Structure 1
Amino acid sequence: MESIFESKYCTEMRESAVVLTKRLAQTAQETFGDFEEAVEKDATKTAVLDGTVHPLTSYVINYVKFLFDYQSTLKQLFQEFDEGDADSLLTSVTTRIMQALQTNLDGKSKQYKDPALTQLFLMNNIHYIVRSVRRSEAKDLLGDDWVQIHRRIVQQHANQYKRISWSKILQCLTIQGLSSSSGNQFGGDSGGNSGVSRAMVKERFKTFNIQFEELHQRQSQWTVPDSELRESLRLAVAEVLLPAYRSFIRRFGPLIENGKNPQKYIKFTPEDLERMLAEFFEGKTWSEQKR
């Protein structure tokens, strides 16, 4: 505009162009502000029953990717506000949109009655955000610190899921409370089980079976769409559950096997558990599982 309309007779046209550019920059800023607010307050009732990535998450991430397709234009507009620091303005806009999305996801996560599914939902969605950022130009603006912080948040949600879902069932496989006497539960260091109540061991196995079958039925219907994340979560559970179960069977299995109907109490081998864990987070319906 400056070069084409440089004559003194075009002053008004040049000034109008400057005013128009400033208005366009202002509108862009307002648009981002409106979008940020819309994301934070989005109240769509879309229920993600299996805890997978919410449509809002993928929509907002696509929006941010498009921003970076037009970043040279945006930076030109942002310079109307702050010459020489367009990068920080684009970073600020992106960060605020991401924060608005996370605030909304926190709200949506509270719709779940099962607190373990709340954690799985947040893990899935934050992981999707981090993975998308790492694969896009947004990574250069948001920086490694942002990525690392949010990777830790994903891990925290995974740990919380594990604690909420599995700590109760793991209590079944501990030695506490199995003694029928107040003395040494296991008859010294000989590894014998004198003082251990067979009835209580049976009760432990029954409780474990009920709880594991219930977890398997419910959580096989939940979804972790990222295969790497899904496998690492199963592995994290297996690393805690399988050694505890093997140890419990090795120690107390003989008490049951020498009695009546041992299969009524020892329903699963460790290999059965491992196979069933491989069906968790596949998003299968109950009818599919039965087939």
Structure 2
Amino acid sequence: MRRIIGVYLSSAKRLFDQVLFCLLNFGHAVLIGPHNPEWLFCLLDMYEVLADLMPDLDALFPQEAESLIRIEFHELVLELGESIRFICFFKMKSTAESMEMKSGAQVDPNPSCALSLTSILEAALDKKSSLYRDSSLKHIFLMNNIHYMVEKIKKSKICPYFGDDWIRKHIVMFRQHAVYYQRATWSSLLTFLRYDGITRKATLKTRCQEFNAAFEDLYKSQTRWVVPDPQLREDVTIVSSKTVIQVYRNFVCMIISSIGKKHIKYTEQELGMYVMDLLEGSSKLLSHSWKRRHGWLQMLTIS
């Protein structure tokens, strides 16, 4: 038993040392890279996580012989802080000086640096968003990142440099992208749920099938997408659910007497529940649930 425990503890310690070594290497690799303004929030995240972990590391390595690891992590945190200050003050100050030379007017470096910083970040986001072919995913990307930027700045010490107008403006921006996402996602899907009162039964059945197929494809792809902020995700999916359910309910009510229940694959409650699954970051499928439910209905009918 002693030998087993000795081997286990030795192996666990080696693995733990390797993990710490990888973290240190990653941190130093980030510091070696170019200190571009668009890296700021990544550096801030790393700094905050490591700073929060430092008391645990100090407690984990109390011995003098192990103090080297603690020293290296403390130095890494200090260097991350220096990199953040460099981006905030030196790079942004040079941008403010450039603005002053062009305008001929004196520019207050603190607010102008902060605003220049976010302008650079927003330009980088716009450029990256253009790589997304899916319009819905493009707006999710922009909504997520602008929301993250707003929340990060609201909680930071540099918030006064931005002011309430900047915060309000960017809240409107990420909410607008949420609206664009809704339009890009549902406008084409809801065209299947049109009924003018004279459409033939065969056409209505086809539209039901097309809607089901399109919704299942959307469900498969958009359950894989993620909105990290829980409240933002809930707000977006609630709006989606209300949008879809209202149209779906009206459509089903108008056609069910014409084509019968067997062609209505999902109840409105099921559809609303499935919409709330979207943007969780874990791809799911729908088709098996309908088969199982209707299999049970057939068994109940036979019996």
Q: TM-score scaled to structure 1, two decimals?
A: 0.64
Report if the CA contact (8 A) 2:37-2:120 is conserved. Answer: yes
Matched, 1:283 2:286: no
Segments ≥4 residues shifted beyond 2 Å: 60-67, 285-291
Could you tell me how far 1:100 is from its partner in structure 2? Answer: 0.8
Report if the CA contact (8 A) 2:216-2:286 is conserved. Answer: no
In the alignment, which residue of structure 2 is the partner of 1:126? 146
Q: How far apart in 2 are the matches of 1:289 and 1:199?
A: 22
Report if the CA contact (8 A) 2:216-2:287 is conserved. Answer: no
In the alignment, which residue of structure 1 is the partner of 2:206? 203
Structure 1 residues 165 and 288: CA distance shift in structure 2, 3 A: closer
In the alignment, which residue of structure 1 is the partner of 2:76? none
Q: How far apart in 2 are the matches of 1:168 and 1:277?
A: 16
1:225-264 matches, within 5 Å, as: 225-257=228-260, 262-263=261-262
Structure 1 residues 287 and 134: CA distance shift in structure 2, 3 A: same
In the alignment, which residue of structure 2 is the partner of 1:160? 180
Q: How far apart in 2 are the matches of 1:288 and 1:167?
A: 21
- Runs of 5+ unmatched residues, structure 1: 1-33, 41-55, 179-184, 186-194
Q: How far apart in 2 are the matches of 1:87 and 1:133?
A: 21
| Percentage of pairs with the same residue | 29
Please tell me the residue identity of whatever aligns with 2:257: P
Counterpart among 206, 219, 224 of residue 227 in structure 2? 224
Q: How far apart in 1 are the matches of 2:121 and 2:204?
A: 48
Q: TM-score scaled to structure 2, two decimals?
A: 0.61
Report if the CA contact (8 A) 2:144-2:227 is conserved. Answer: yes
Could you tell me how far 1:227 is from its partner in structure 2? Answer: 0.4
Q: How far apart in 1 are the matches of 2:214 and 2:248?
A: 13
Report if the CA contact (8 A) 1:64-1:94 is conserved. Answer: no
Please tell me the residue identity of whatever aligns with 2:274: M
In the alignment, which residue of structure 1 is the partner of 2:121? 101
Report if the CA contact (8 A) 1:223-1:283 is conserved. Answer: yes
Matched, 1:213 2:213: no
Q: Larger Cα Rg: Structure 1 or Structure 2?
A: 1
Could you report, residue by residue, the CA deviation over 1:175-213 in whole angstroms, capped at 9, with x for unpaired residues?
2xx4xxxxxx4xxxxxxxxx3311111111111101111
Instruction: Give the SS at the match of 1:172.
Output: helix
Matched, 1:59 2:11: no
Q: How far apart in 2 are the matches of 1:254 and 1:245?
A: 15
1:13-52 matches, within 5 Å, as: 35=35, 38-39=36-37
Instruction: Give the SS at the match of 2:207.
Output: helix
Could you report, residue by residue, the CA deviation over 1:230-276 in whole angstroms, capped at 9, with x for unpaired residues?
0000011111110111111111112111xxxx43x311000111111
Q: How far apart in 2 are the matches of 1:97 and 1:87?
A: 15
Report if the CA contact (8 A) 2:223-2:278 is conserved. Answer: yes
Structure 1 residues 287 and 246: CA distance shift in structure 2, 3 A: closer
Q: How far apart in 2 are the matches of 1:272 and 1:63?
A: 41
Could you report, residue by residue, the CA deviation over 1:67-121 in whole angstroms, capped at 9, with x for unpaired residues?
9x97xxx7xxx8xx99xxx993111112111111111111111222211101100
Q: How far apart in 2 are the matches of 1:199 and 1:252?
A: 12
Matched, 1:141 2:161: yes
C-alpha RMSD of the superposition: 3.3
Please tell me the residue identity of whatever aligns with 2:269: E
Could you tell me how far 1:159 is from its partner in structure 2? Answer: 0.8
How many residues align? The count is 209
Matched, 1:151 2:171: yes
Q: How far apart in 2 are the matches of 1:289 and 1:114?
A: 23
Counterpart among 264, 267, 271 of residue 266 in structure 1? 264
Structure 1 residues 288 and 266: CA distance shift in structure 2, 3 A: closer
Q: How far apart in 1 are the matches of 2:126 and 2:243?
A: 28
